[in-house]
Structure 1
Amino acid sequence: MDDSDSQSRSDDSSDQEYALTTILQYLIRSGEVHIISSGRDDSEDEFVAAASPPRMRDLRPNTKELDKSEVSLATQQACGLLHTSGHERPNSIAAMINARERGMFGRSSFTRGDCCKITNNYIPNKMKTVAKYHSKAFCGTYSKDGNYFLSACQDRNLRLYRTAEGKFQLLKTIQARDVGWSILDTAFSPDGNYIVYSSWSECLHVCRLYEDSENQDALPLCPDERRFCIFSLGFSSDGREILGGANDGFLYVYDRECNQRALRIEGHDDDVNTVAFADGTSQILYSGGDDGLCKVWDRRTLNESNPKPVGVLAGHMDGVTYIDPRGDGRHLISNCKDQSIKLWDVRVFSGTDGQRNTRKAVSHQTWDYRWQTVPKKLSNPKKNLEGDTSVMTYRGHSVLQTLVRCHFSPEFTTGQRYIYTGCAAGRVVIYDVLTGKVHSVLSGHTACVRDVSWHPHRLELVSTSWDGTLGRWTYSGQMKLDMEDEDVNIIYPSDHEFRHLRRSRRIALQRERQQKSQEALEQKHTTSC
């Protein structure tokens, strides 16, 4: 047997192994084949161990574009770093309280920005396990009012918890129907009365939360593919429509009032991993897929027979796993298998060069993020792709094994100062939007954290992990009331504000000013001597 024949047989064997591996991967993913544990009472058979933390973290992010962007200014105003009044504000909590009591804020109390500035000192950092399952937990999200939490697990159960008044009590367990491999996504209706979930099924399923869980409605999407699933879904602002992104590359819109599919949009060249409504109007849609592109769709100009997005956002080097809109109709973030989160301004679309470079970069990826380690060229890229129109790139978490999700922190408590994401290394990573740096890393799980949800009105978040647990994170530590050096010199009210203070406060302020002036003169005299 000569070397060429040996090499030929070796190549044939490799091709067969690759083909068998590919087929097995598809069957497992689609739910036609399941991996069964050995029967031992050992939960280790059920879970995938956490990946290693990223090897590199960008310690000096380039914020050139971010610093001059509208989102930077809006975030600084929302979280109390800038005020429209023009008055300088103290930084430490003690100084802010002191200044308020002395009247420097006028007759009003703290603004919402002031409150966010204070609460941003108490970002959650300590985990308590609030639920444990015998299978991987895939989805977990708070309701809009924060009074309920819904989880979805690979054991085909949805669980609803009551979270009002700081509680975390299981209310009901809902057995999902027609589940292939796992429940893939869930969503609350805007009024909080319904939930919808998706799986490897041609139908979405809707059920009323406060009635018999056996009463579930199947919403047929009538796809062309036999093996079909919806990876991502969401309700419109009025609750009438449900938007979904599918493995056949299409976006689907189901009209609940007409009880039929209203729209089918050919959106991407590969799986549509994530979709979202841009804002409360329900006219602008976002989508992201395994082709590495984020697309913006306007339903008012959309032709189903020849659908064209109003714009494309290019710059990622691998498939997009999740999109989260900021809620202002202008900005969104995207999580990606290239191990980055990007912040986008949807008014600045990418040109043909940027789109071509993204497609080229994605086509050159030969690894599978579900069971392989991150290639070095992705974990530590030297520069962005040419034509990348993103405002900012955030690195420090890992996206492996599953479609890891990211979100903006709530506007009410944080002013959307942060971006938070799950991580394949069993962590929750929180980024500072304004600096691009990792603000904090929350470690507590032993397997991939796929989903994280921040309470809309409280400083707590819940992480959903493949180790089968839900972890509730709250702040633990001493209150940060120390005076900072820059706050030692109390900022006094303007002359106009001074005239409106009570007489006792005016006298006290005058005495304090005189005392500080005297101390400054004495200090100057001592120094000169």
Structure 2
Amino acid sequence: MASHQEDPESAGEDVFESAEEEMDLFPVAFGEDDDDDEGSEYVDEDDEDAEDDDYDEHDHGEHHAYIDAGGMQVEISFQPEDGEDDEAAGWAERNLAQVINLIAGGGQAGHTFLSRTQLRALLGTTNALADDDDEDHEWDEMGYGGRRRRRVRGDPDRFPKIPSDEGTELMTSGVFGSTDRQASSQVPKQKALARRILDRELGLDDKISWRMRQGLMAQSLIPTKDADMVIHYHDPVYSGQFSDDGNFFFSCVKDFKVRMYDTSNPYNWRHYKTVSHPFGQWTLTDASLSPDNKWLAYTSIQPTVCLAPTDPSDTGDPYTLNLSDSGNAAQLHDAWHTHHSFGIFSVRFSGDGRELVAGTNAATVVIYDIESRRVLHTVSGHEDDVNAVCFADKMSPHILYSGSDDATIKVWDRRSMGDGREAGAFVGHCEGLTYIDSKGDGRYILSNGKDQTMKLWDLRMAMSTEQFAEKNPMQFTRHSNFDYRFHRYFDDDWFKHPYDNSLVTFRGHQVRRTLIRCHFSPPGSTDSRYVYSGSYDGRVYVWNMDATIAAKIDIRDAASEMIYGSRQMGIRRHLGSACVREASWHPTAPILVASAWNGQQDFGSCTVHSYNDAREDDADPKMGRVVDDQLRPLGLRAETESPEPGAGDLGHFFGTGDW
């Protein structure tokens, strides 16, 4: 988890280092006097003979590489997977060896770019590069900076019960959709759906039964993994959301651009506008659509919010709103270098569209009045980054929530924020929060945590301000050294918080590497029956309210085979992997869009999935079509900008940001 950094001029580091947006993968440690020796430069020259000596292949197909990494003898071995040819395995092996050799100074004394401790830390986290689903390791993983995380095997019964009793009550209460009390396990779901459609067309239901059957039919139409369309971007996609009425979809991409699409016909999209952030830093972090769909607010790791009209005929520059204390628009461009600036991780419009609420990496929640263009409140209510904010009720601007890396959710009343005290709090996550989402009814809230759980909360069960101060629940989570960008989270690290006041805990997905988002399913297209989340493993997880998994939508096949043409390019699945950062369910149609990072953060995609129970594709246009950001058709290999095997481009292994 991130903490406030020193002055960048004195520390030589970026002031906006955060739990998600780390600018450098590892802190650089120079050898003695290396940082002062301006006359010496390290040049990496290829030595074919040396390379031939360093690589070996045993008779049984296992590849070995031996390198001298700054005085440390390192052996790298690769065992090709079934169906993987030796050429592809050897190429991946050589790339990794080159990375280690490069950062170790090529094995030459006086040219070590990382210290031995840092190199060991790197070697201890190389499992992040592998697609390994084995969760049974019992070794201690090397922590960031070389610290080991102590793990003690916990009680296997400490995990929440599945199915959840509280969740089962919610499912039968009617708050989260209809319940088929006459359901029979003997009737297949497809036949049950067909029978309900027939009864509807024959008019056999009364008004009450008709409404219930409509809800039950909507619950059956969960989108499948086969993609209708794949939108390919040259940079990772950080967010993608439908508007509340379903007529609009926008995607926020790392290239500081937001693409807007007309989805009034959800099966025939139309691109009509792209807007940019003029002062973007590192990536776009969030976006929010005004209630009337006329304005889009979007943010970067800067103290400014860009406000752009969604009207395609308005081609002017976006308005910039400064949420910093200075309020001096002339200093916007230099805000990154000031001591009082900050980055915005989350932004939301109020229900009336007059205000914005933002969460920042300065551990603050900012309320901004759009009409008067001034900050109304800046509240320091957390001990770490505020990664997500939202309003409790879409029709009211009064109650709002904030989720933080300090592992808490705070409840705020806009009418009493002047004293800087929260109205209540939720505790129960063991690690920081990545996202929060409100059901919009002023009562239920959903959160994603780095402890690999998603939790449902009821506002009526919030801990009061006095209880929070008295019990000090943060004492149990304050000293975690888990870094979700590099490490896997093990079950033995999870514990039940003594003051957990959540209703239901959902597990199974992977919240790693980035701030992965979760949502309630919409009432129109799903009868409000489900909750869902993106995942590091390339899937969208859909849960029933009792914490049982209703579906897994795997986007990896669509993202790898159709975009990258892996067979033609000789690139295997490790470059076709995907991390689903956010999924968005259409409010009225059985369509879901997964916004993802692809490869090793080389590019991104929005894969559009719909309900389809047929094996044959009779749609027009055909399913699985691949298009660019403006929805123009692409071929299998078109414009991927991926390196050919052996090209020596190591950027996808060792970048400047999150792995």
**TM-score, normalised via structure 1 length:** 0.75
Structure 2 distance, partners of 1:431, 1:286, is 23
Structure-1 separation of matches of 2:554 and 2:592: 13
Contact 1:292 1:314 in 2 (8 A): yes
Is the counterpart of residue 247 in structure 1 residue 361 in structure 2? yes
Q: Which residue of 2 aligns with 1:470?
A: 606
Residue 193 in structure 1 maps to residue 328 in structure 2: no
Aligned residue runs from structure 1 range 3-152, under 5 A: 26=17, 52=132, 55=135, 61-68=162-169, 73-75=173-175, 78-81=177-180, 92-96=192-196, 105-106=205-206, 108=207, 111-125=210-224, 126-152=226-252
Q: Deviations over 1:223-246 (max 9, x none)?
A: 485441111111111111111111
Contact 2:346/2:358 (<8 A) preserved: yes
Aligned-partner Cα distance in 1 for 2:370–2:310:
17
The answer as to whether partners of 1:292 and 1:358 remain within 8 angstroms in 2 is: no
Number of residues paired by the alignment? 438
Q: How does 1:316-331 map to 2 (within 5 A)?
A: 316-331=429-444
Report matched runs for 1:136-215 at 5 Å.
136-165=236-265, 166-210=267-311, 211-215=313-317
User: Which residue does the alignment assign to 1:441?
Assistant: 552
Counterpart secondary structure, 1:114? helix
The answer as to whether partners of 1:401 and 1:424 remain within 8 angstroms in 2 is: yes
The Cα of 1:335 is off from its aligned counterpart by 0.6
Q: CA RMSD in A?
A: 3.5
- The alpha carbon displacement at 1:79 in A equals 2.9
SS of match in other structure, 2:460: coil
Equivalent residue, structure 2, for 1:458: 589
Corresponding residue for residue 540 of structure 2: 428
Q: What is the CA–CA distance in structure 2 between the aligned matches of 1:119 and 1:28, rounded to whole Å?
A: 38
> 3-state DSSP class of the match of 2:212?
helix
**Are residues 1:233 and 2:347 paired?**
yes
2 CA distance for matches of 1:255 and 1:150? 24
Q: Distance in 2 between matches of 1:337 and 1:119?
A: 31
Change (3 A) 1:59 1:244: closer
Deviation digits for residues 42-81 of structure 1 (CA, Å, limit 9, x no counterpart):
9x99xx9686558499895151333445x751335x3354
The verdict on how the C-alpha distance between 1:130 and 1:284 changes in structure 2, with shifts beyond 3 A counting, is same
Kindly tell me: are residues 458 and 103 of structure 1, through their superposed partners in 2, closer, same or farther at Cα, counting changes over 3 Å? closer
Deviations 1:390-440 (A, max 9, x none): 11000010111111000000011212111110101111111111x211111
Residue 374 of structure 1 and its aligned partner are, at CA, apart by 1.3
Contact 1:29 1:181 in 2 (8 A): no
For residues 266 and 216 of structure 1, do their structure 2 counterparts lie closer, same or farther at Cα, with a shift above 3 Å needed?
same
Whole-angstrom CA distance in 2 between matches of 1:115 and 1:244:
38
Residue 128 of structure 1 deviates from its aligned partner by 3.7
Separation in structure 2 between the aligned mates of residue 168 and residue 102 of structure 1, nearest angstrom: 33
Per-residue Cα deviation, 1:323-342 (whole angstroms, up to 9, x for no partner)? 11111111111110010011
RCO (CA 8 Å, sep 6+): is it higher in 1 or 2? Answer: 1
1:409 to 521, 526, 531: 521
- Contact 1:200-1:227 within 8 A present in 2 as well: no
Structure 1 letter corresponding to 2:525: T
- Residues 167/97 of structure 1: CA separation in 2 closer, same or farther (3 Å cut): closer
The Cα of 1:209 is off from its aligned counterpart by: 1.5
- CA gap 1:29/1:359 in 2 versus in 1, 3 angstroms: closer
Distance 1:403 1:68 in 2: 30
2:411 corresponding residue in structure 1? 296
1:101–1:221 CA distance, 2 compared to 1 (3 A): closer
The alpha carbon displacement at 1:155 in A equals 1.3
Residue 151 of structure 1: SS of its match in structure 2? Answer: strand
Question: Please, which runs of 5 or more residues in structure 2 have no aligned partner?
Answer: 1-9, 27-43, 45-90, 97-127, 137-155, 183-188, 327-338, 557-576, 599-603, 616-659
Aligned-partner SS, 1:118? helix
Q: 1:355 to 1:437 in 2, by over 3 A?
A: farther
Task: Measure the CA separation in 1 of the matches of 2:455 and 2:238.
Answer: 23
- 3-state SS of 1:66 partner: helix
Q: Does the C-alpha gap of structure 1 residues 354 and 308 become closer, same or farther in structure 2, counting only changes over 3 Å?
A: closer
8 Å contact 2:354–2:371 — kept in the other structure? Answer: yes
Distance 1:362 1:99, change over 3 A: same
Tell whether the 8 Å contact from 1:115 to 1:413 is kept in structure 2 after alignment: no
Separation of aligned partners in 1, 2:15 and 2:385: 19
Q: TM-score, normalised by structure 2?
A: 0.61
